[in-house]
């Protein structure tokens, strides 16, 4: 192992120990929510219902996940955003309904009774800016001695939701070394989504990318367009996207940067498998046919499989693939694939 490989490994290990310390940190706020599961009552703090799993923070077991089909009643004084299958959203606290498998959402003026079978998501929306932010951080490292290849990865995701908007800040950095060759790819994006009635939303994204394998020194991109959730159940979701993107690119050779206009076509699929093994699967593909450069088109694909490990930790296997049929740098590759295995933390 070379010195640079050892430095990269030490950095990943150090950040991994920091994640472990964060996961072990106790939460001192008093938890009073009551979750009825068969003849058992769990006292904790309801965090969310997503993909048929109710996430509950407890004092002694960390964050646990309960099969939603086993839950009979929920009560919480916290404030939640509640979405049902037809896309309608309600806001309020969860009060005692007096009936099994029925949720009572108490809003500002009325209380709505919703059958458990109609619920898709329940997300806590605390008061204040930081109380509404969800955090996910993951670190990965691999080394293959036979080829003297090492790869380190870091990803972070911060999301925030309000009654009208959902926003997300996403960061990804992958460093690969083979012998004396080093390649990096970086991706930072911020997305704001405006909720519309029913299954429609509108999104606007600003993005920054670098990819040395494709000869891309840096790319600035702004894209926007409507999103339509074609499929929305408690365990699956399919979203279709279309729009336009304005792009400014600079390359690793000496040629000047270029401005271009691109179309956007996208698809995002989420699925959850609750039985053993318990897995989350996410796949997203974006196609960018150029409207300024004849015959050029690009594709960005990413897929992720993750599994909860307990104590707010998770394991993930991710793949990132970029393709450009007309790279501006003559000797650059037209595609780049990165596969990472990582340990993450999400409170």
pLDDT band at residue 24 under the 50/70/90 scheme:
very low
Q: Among 75, 103, 125, which residue terminates a domain? A: 125
pLDDT score of 345 more than 50: yes
Same domain, 257 and 183: yes
Mean pLDDT over 184-192 rounds to 94
Q: Among 106, 125, 144, which residue terminates a domain? A: 125
Task: Output 296 or 308, whichever has higher pLDDT.
Answer: 296
State percent of the chain over pLDDT 90: 43
pLDDT score for 194: 92
Mean pLDDT over 33-49 rounds to 89
pLDDT score for 143: 66
Beta pairing, strands 33-37 & 71-84: antiparallel
pLDDT score for 58: 83
Exposed e or buried b for every residue in 181-203, given b needs 16+ CB within 10 A?
eebebbbebebebebeeebebeb
Q: With respect to residue 18, please indicate whether it lies within any of the assigned structural domains.
A: no
Element (H, E) at 85: none
Q: With respect to residue 9, please indicate whether it lies within any of the assigned structural domains.
A: no
pLDDT score for 166: 87
Same domain, 165 and 271: yes
Q: With respect to residue 11, please indicate whether it lies within any of the assigned structural domains.
A: no
pLDDT score for 114: 93
Same domain, 301 and 261: yes
Same domain, 94 and 168: no
Token duo for residue 77: 């004084």
Return the SS3 of 15: helix
Same domain, 277 and 325: yes
Q: Is residue 3 a contact partner of residue 11, using CB atoms and an 8 Å limit?
A: no
Q: With respect to residue 223, please indicate whether it lies within any of the assigned structural domains.
A: yes
Q: Give Rg (Cα) of the chain.
A: 22
Rounded Cα–Cα distance for residues 103 and 56 (Å): 16
Token duo for residue 80: 């939640």
pLDDT band at residue 8 under the 50/70/90 scheme:
very low
pLDDT score for 248: 96
Contacts of 104 (CB under 8 A, 6+ apart): 94, 95, 96, 97, 111, 112, 113, 114
pLDDT, tens digit, for every residue of 269-293? Answer: 999 876 666 788 999 999 999 999 9
**What CATH number should be reported for the domain holding residue 113?**
2.30.30
Return the SS3 of 177: strand
Task: Output 197 or 139, whichever has higher pLDDT.
Answer: 139
pLDDT band at residue 130 under the 50/70/90 scheme:
low
Same domain, 147 and 168: yes
Q: What values do phi and psi take at 75, rounded to 5?
A: -135, 135
pLDDT score of 29 more than 60: no
Same domain, 145 and 218: yes
Token duo for residue 145: 């001695």
Segment among 2-11, 117-126, 332-341 with least mean pLDDT: 2-11
| pTM score of the predicted model | 0.78
pLDDT, tens digit, for every residue of 51-94? Answer: 788 988 887 777 788 888 899 999 998 889 898 888 888 888 99
pLDDT score of 261 more than 80: yes
Rounded Cα–Cα distance for residues 263 and 92 (Å): 39
pLDDT score for 269: 96
Q: With respect to residue 44, please indicate whether it lies within any of the assigned structural domains.
A: yes
Task: Output 61 or 99, whichever has higher pLDDT.
Answer: 99
What is the residue-averaged pLDDT of the chain? 84
Mean pLDDT over 107-113 rounds to 87
Q: With respect to residue 24, please indicate whether it lies within any of the assigned structural domains.
A: no
Q: What is the tally of structural domains in the chain?
A: 2
Same domain, 220 and 327: yes
Mean pLDDT over 101-126 rounds to 88
pLDDT band at residue 203 under the 50/70/90 scheme:
very high
Mean pLDDT over 139-146 rounds to 73
Q: Among 63, 94, 125, which residue terminates a domain? A: 125
pLDDT score for 94: 93
pLDDT score for 332: 80
Same domain, 196 and 281: yes
**What CATH number should be reported for the domain holding residue 313?**
2.40.230.20
Q: Is residue 309 a contact partner of residue 279, using CB atoms and an 8 Å limit?
A: no
Same domain, 250 and 316: yes
pLDDT score of 27 more than 50: no
Rounded Cα–Cα distance for residues 180 and 148 (Å): 9
Q: With respect to residue 13, please indicate whether it lies within any of the assigned structural domains.
A: no
pLDDT score for 23: 46
Q: With respect to residue 210, please indicate whether it lies within any of the assigned structural domains.
A: yes
Peptide bond into 277 cis (omega under 30): yes
Rounded Cα–Cα distance for residues 269 and 237 (Å): 6
Query: For residue 162, what are the domain limits?
Result: 131-345
Same domain, 176 and 292: yes
Same domain, 150 and 104: no
Tell me how long the chain is: 347
């Amino acid at each position: 192992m070379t010195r640079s490989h050892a430095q990269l490994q030490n950095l990943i290990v150090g950040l991994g120990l920091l994640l472990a310390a964060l996961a072990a940190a106790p939460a001192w706020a008093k938890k009073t929510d009551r979750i009825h599961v068969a003849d058992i009552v769990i006292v904790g703090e309801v965090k969310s219902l997503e993909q048929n799993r109710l996430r509950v923070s407890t004092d002694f077991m960390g964050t646990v996940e309960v099969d939603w089909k086993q839950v009979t009643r929920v009560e919480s004084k916290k404030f939640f955003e509640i979405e049902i299958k037809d896309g309608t959203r309600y806001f309020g606290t969860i009060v005692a309904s007096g009936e099994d498998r029925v949720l009572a959402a108490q809003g500002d003026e009325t209380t709505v009774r919703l059958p458990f079978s109609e619920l898709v998501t329940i997300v806590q929306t605390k008061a204040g800016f930081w109380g509404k932010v969800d955090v996910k951080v993951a670190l990965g490292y691999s080394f293959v001695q036979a080829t003297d290849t090492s790869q380190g990865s870091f990803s972070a995701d911060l999301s925030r939701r309000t009654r009208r908007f959902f926003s997300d800040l996403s960061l990804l950095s992958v460093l690969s070394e083979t012998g004396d060759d080093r390649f990096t790819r970086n991706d930072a994006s911020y997305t704001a989504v405006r909720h519309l009635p029913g299954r429609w939303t509108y999104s606007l994204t600003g993005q920054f990318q670098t990819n040395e394998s494709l000869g891309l020194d840096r790319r600035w991109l702004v894209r926007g367009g409507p999103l339509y959730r074609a499929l929305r159940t408690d365990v699956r979701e399919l979203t279709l996207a279309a729009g336009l993107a304005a792009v400014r690119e600079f390359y690793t050779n000496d040629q000047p940067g270029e401005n271009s206009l691109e179309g956007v076509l996208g698809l995002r699929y989420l699925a959850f498998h609750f039985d053993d093994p318990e897995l989350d699967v996410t796949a997203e593909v974006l196609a960018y046919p150029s409207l300024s450069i004849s015959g050029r088109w690009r594709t960005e694909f990413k897929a992720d499989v993750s599994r909860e490990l307990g104590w707010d930790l998770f394991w993930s296997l991710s793949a990132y693939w970029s393709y450009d049929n007309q790279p501006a740098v003559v000797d650059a590759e037209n595609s780049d694939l990165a596969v990472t295995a990582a340990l993450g933390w999400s409170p």
